[in-house]
Amino acid sequence: MINIVEETKKIGIKKRIELVHKIWDGIVEETQEIPVPDWHKEELERRNEKYMKNPESGLSWEKVKENIRDNNV
């Protein structure tokens, strides 16, 4: 049996990155076929309700990125 990971190591990094992009694009196209579990939907609803009660409790995307950069997560 062919070990795909080992085989991909035989090609250059640029080609491997291109391959990863193509694989990811294929996955994205097929994600509509993946069902979302009810508990995911329920958790999103719970978090949205919590946020709507106190919108100031969240962080802006800029602040989140800043925290990540500063390792203050």
- Answer yes or no: are the C-beta atoms of 18 and 25 closer than 8 Å: no
Whole-number pLDDT of residue 54: 93
Mark whether 42 and 21 lie in a shared domain.
no
Helices (DSSP H) in the chain: which residue ranges? 4-8, 13-30, 38-53, 61-69
Q: DSSP class of residue 73? A: -
Whole-number pLDDT of residue 10: 92
Q: Which domain holds residue 61?
A: 38-69
Whole-number pLDDT of residue 73: 55
Whole-number pLDDT of residue 72: 61
- Answer yes or no: are the C-beta atoms of 35 and 27 closer than 8 Å: no
Low-confidence ranges of the chain (pLDDT < 50): none
Whole-number pLDDT of residue 30: 81
What span, in angstroms and rounded, lies between the C-alpha atoms of 66 and 60? 10
Counted domains in the chain: 2
Mark whether 44 and 22 lie in a shared domain.
no
Mark whether 45 and 28 lie in a shared domain.
no
